[in-house]
Homo-oligomer: A and B are copies of this chain.
Amino acid sequence: MAAALELFSTRDAEDVSIDDVASAAGASRALVYHYFGGKQELYVAALRSAAEQLESRLRPQEGGRPIDELASGLRRYFDFVEEHAAGFAALLRGGPANRTGEVGEIVEGVRQRLFRLIQRQMGVQEPSPVLRTTLRSWIASVETAGLDWLEHRDVERPALERLLVDQMVALLGVAAANDGEVAGLLHRLK
């Protein structure tokens, strides 16, 4: 599994064969087929394992102020993006060609768990519609910024991470101006 994840992280899925995975894992092609059934199944298993790894890394570690937690979470998120560059870019750009419902569900599952993580960090039980759409938008921004960074790498990572933290603060400010609940929340977080 680790060998498959490594290959799918560093190359486009279309360029990874079962033979590559078998030889990287020091196993036979037959054994890989036996355990996983085929390349698509292997890809889904690798993706699921990557998703779990990302989520375990993003678990809050410091018990600090929410804004510091956010900055440190973003740093760990970008560590992950950088380590799994090719796989992350291929996945979020819409490939691999045979993207099944299962792949979409894993991606959506990660987004939802990130959402709940942020929600918990903010101490919010039930987000208002404005807060919900704001947090989802920000998560989409982070994904997009990750993709853009992998494509161009013309901003320093720490600068980009700061930009995204500042974006969250600004977006919450906009949400607060439109929604009393978010205004109360921001007041408590300060």
Cα separation A170 to B169 with both chains bound (whole Å): 10
Q: Given A95-B101, A137-B141, are A171 and B167 also a contact pair (CB < 8 Å)?
A: yes
Cα separation A148 to B99 with both chains bound (whole Å): 22
Most chain B CB within a 10 A radius of its CB, from A136, A137, A177: A137
A166 / chain B contacts, CB cutoff of 8 Å: 174, 177-178
A62 CB–B CB distance under 8 Å: no
- Of B94, B170, B177, which one neighbours A107 at CB under 8 angstroms? B94
Cβ–Cβ contact B178 & A159, under 8 A:
yes
Binary per-residue interface labels of chain A (150-180) against chain B in the complex, 1 for a CB within 8 Å, 0 otherwise: 0010110001101100110011011101100
Q: Assembly of this chain: how many copies?
A: 2
- Of B141, B152, B159, B170, which one neighbours A173 at CB under 8 angstroms? B170
Binary per-residue interface labels of chain A (117-142) against chain B in the complex, 1 for a CB within 8 Å, 0 otherwise: 00000000000011011101111110
Cα separation A132 to B163 with both chains bound (whole Å): 13
A95-B101, A133-B163, A171-B171 provided; 12 other pairs, C-beta below 8 A?
A94-B101, A94-B103, A94-B108, A99-B99, A133-B148, A133-B155, A133-B160, A134-B167, A159-B178, A163-B175, A170-B170, A170-B174
Return 5 A-B CB contacts under 8 Å, by A number.
Answer: A98-B98, A129-B152, A133-B149, A137-B144, A166-B177
Interface residues of A (CB under 8 A from B): 93-95, 97-101, 103-105, 107-108, 129-130, 132-134, 136-141, 143-145, 148-149, 152, 154-155, 159-160, 162-163, 166-167, 170-171, 173-175, 177-178
